[in-house]
Structure 1
């Protein structure tokens, strides 16, 4: 028996209450947080515990969700992936991904994205995935290009962080492009 949620390096799973500690630690790396979205003021241990408990109890949605990226063998959290921007009428969705700094450059993000796309394309019948990447995030730009995403556009100076404006680069992949590369 093989789980659709297990790849070569990672498994995607639901958030568990005890995951609070890993995610709280990931928030300590300001540069990594900025690369993913935006920097927030520090949160307390109590808040992190409450967040993880609430995520663990959140009602499941088949199309819009957040999953933990965990190591395949040890099941330790290394990051998260979430879907958003669901447009069922067009068959499109967007996703975000974040891997904690100590776990980057180990193939976890690429493996997680392939697992996610396989589910969204072949189980939920979507036809296109989109991802927005900040132009200063060289690692994520390279990752999406290596995975076969096509650069579709750029929103100039649309994100402000670390005292400067940054462009957002739109990447897209169709089900046909995915199938040709990963089926």
Structure 2
């Protein structure tokens, strides 16, 4: 194996699980997430010789991951079939905190790709608005507006959710909570 291949293999070995988790939050499907990461890593490997600052590899890979996801989403949207079947009720979770978290991530999946990416990078990856702007190739102001729109959409959808308790609806409607920290 060449030095470049060994260096890339070491990077993949150390970061693949985290990348799959991020991709899962973007796609909502483990198999799609794994495929997305493979596609992003393939593109990254082809450009590995151009990445001069090895400290910025994570930012570069996240950017490729998000761009690749947007491309997949656009292609899927064009050929998507609309299901008319109703899905069965999902079994209830033992702990309401897990239930609320699962419901919130389901709602995140309904956001447009850019807003979903901002939410994942901000609240899961814990990136700063500046880092998100670099990953998405936009301004910090755009990150702020996309975050605000995403949170407003999530709040509205959650308040309308039949499973949301009255206390949770009040909490979501108040605009308070750790989801709005620094966004």
Tell me, yes or no, whether TM beats 0.5: no
Whose helix proportion is higher, 1 or 2? Answer: 2
For the pair shown, which has the larger CA radius of gyration, 1 or 2?
Answer: 2
Whose strand proportion is higher, 1 or 2? Answer: 1
TM-score, with structure 1 as normaliser: 0.28
